[in-house]
Amino acid sequence: MNIFIVALAILVLVIGIAWGKIHPFLAFLFVSIGAAIALGMPLAIVATSVRKGIGDILGSLLVVIVTGAMLGKLVVSSGAAERIAFVLVARFGRTRIPWAMATTGLLVGIPLFYGVGFVLMVPIIFTIVARYRLPAIAAGLPALAAMSVAHGLLPPHPAPTALVAQLDANIGLTLLYGFMIAIPAIVIAGPLFSRTLVGIASEPMVTCTSEPIPEELLPGVFVSIFSSLLPAVLLVVTSLLTLALPASTSLGAVIRFISEPDIVMLLALATATWILGLARGTSISALMKTYTEAGSDVATILLVIAGSGVLKEVLVASGVSVSIAQTMQRLPIDPLVLGWLVAAIIRACVGSATVAGLTAAGLLVPVVANADINPNLMVLSIGAGSLAFSHVNDGAFWLFKEYFRVSLFDTLRTWSVMETIVSLVGLAGVLLLDQFLSL
């Protein structure tokens, strides 16, 4: 019965947004409250779950998205994105731009949380799309596929790192195996799949595009790349330092503070404000106007993401995701396939890849402990499953839809299909590695 209620809630949500033209934020609220009541949640905690769902998801994403939008708009308006576009096309050639995007997405995605990487990559993607008159979806999706793979499979991202700890795996081997699986997943879900999407209409968000600037007035190559990738540099450096410096020391505590994504983005924005703005003669009032416009541009996105957090919280608080996973755990199938399947089902129910991965791992710890299973491969199997079936209850789904300005149906047949391809290729890679390592 719970599965039917969840499926019906998602169906009503899709119909309400796509056919009824209801604002996604309102649709999420009404459907989530209705689902909570239908699932038997006490009325006294329904309103609390609504507030918690909004608070949890915005608490983790608000600073990152807003400061990322400000940094992205500055990178675009200053011409830094245009300079990076010139460099990428010169290195790869115009005909291989999707491969350039996939490579850049992986490099950015390894050290960065997905939300940070997304808001940093989007201005570069849209600048290249505008200057070379390319289809936005076909050119941009490879970068997003690469970042998604890194988010789900590769430490030091939170979910795979936490899975390594829960399942007593080896983080080095998990990273090595993860790269072996990540490359084919990126190639198939990125440049190859994007070839089928050339005809899909997209009108990229205006804030991430700009009028061409004469090349002699553009920032230098180093300044442009440094400003755009400073968050990635900071996260890599601070992550390495945290391994060497105990948290109990004063310096270790400072490094851990700086390594927080919110602090990283604030430091990166402050640095870019100087080297791309003030140092090049832009007034502080002009910069603040740019940042105000960037904040206004992402307001609707934040509302949609907040609504998706409500549905996630209702499904988690009601216990439906755990009950469904426990039912699946009793199926007589390969444990590695089971890990993928449990994570995929939870992902479809709650939207969050991190929640899906951690919940599935908690359920499968006894399975790993009592069977002859490579824990590193189980981490990757669960990680791959946590990327499957992204749809309307996933914040990243709405980030893609609103930034690329595509219809709900086109988002499902581009973003959702790409995520599922990544997941299935990941599972296939895990099973092949398992066969090879068993020889």
**401 pLDDT more than 80:** yes
Burial of 283 (0-12, 13-18, 19+ CB in 10 A): exposed
Query: CA-CA distance, 343 to 149, in Å (whole number)?
Result: 15
Would residue 351 be called left, alpha or beta, if left means φ above 0 and alpha means ψ between -120 and 50 degrees? Answer: left
Query: CA-CA distance, 245 to 111, in Å (whole number)?
Result: 19
At position 54, the amino acid (one-letter code) is I
Distances (CA, A) of 368 to 162, 243, 255, 382, 386: 15, 27, 35, 12, 18
**Per-residue pLDDT averaged across 297-316, rounded?**
78
**Per-residue pLDDT averaged across 316-343, rounded?**
77
**Per-residue pLDDT averaged across 404-431, rounded?**
95
In this prediction the pTM is 0.72
**290 pLDDT more than 70:** yes
Q: Are 376 and 426 in contact (CB under 8 A)?
A: no
pLDDT tens for 191-205 read: 999 999 988 988 877
Distances (CA, A) of 317 to 36, 39, 279: 9, 10, 50
Q: Are 288 and 273 in contact (CB under 8 A)?
A: no
Q: What is the pLDDT of residue 329?
A: 60
Q: What distance lies between CA 64 and its chain's CA centroid? A: 12
Query: CA-CA distance, 240 to 237, in Å (whole number)?
Result: 5
Percent helix / strand / coil, the chain, rounded to 5: 80, 0, 20
Distances (CA, A) of 20 to 15, 38, 186: 6, 22, 35
The structure tokens listed for 309 are 């957090």
Q: Are 143 and 105 in contact (CB under 8 A)?
A: yes
Residue 194: name the closest of 123, 146, 133, 122 by CA.
Answer: 146
**Which residues lie below 8 Å from residue 126, measured CB to CB, with a gap of 6+?**
76, 81, 136, 140, 204, 205, 208, 209
Query: CA-CA distance, 220 to 403, in Å (whole number)?
Result: 27
Per-residue confidence band for 321, with pLDDT thresholds at 50, 70 and 90:
low
Backbone phi, psi, residue 370, to 5°: -105, 10
pLDDT tens for 233-287 read: 787 787 678 777 877 788 888 888 887 878 888 998 999 999 999 988 889 999 9
Half-sphere exposure of 101 toward its Cβ, with a 13 Å CA cutoff?
31
Q: What is the pLDDT of residue 206?
A: 63
Query: CA-CA distance, 150 to 117, in Å (whole number)?
Result: 11
The structure tokens listed for 130 are 């505008």
Which range is least confidently modeled, 112-116, 192-196, 397-401? Answer: 112-116
**What angle, rounded to 10 degrees, do the helices at 43-77 and 24-38 form?**
150
Query: CA-CA distance, 271 to 183, in Å (whole number)?
Result: 33
pLDDT tens for 40-94 read: 898 888 989 899 888 887 887 788 778 877 887 888 788 887 787 778 888 888 8
At position 261, the amino acid (one-letter code) is P
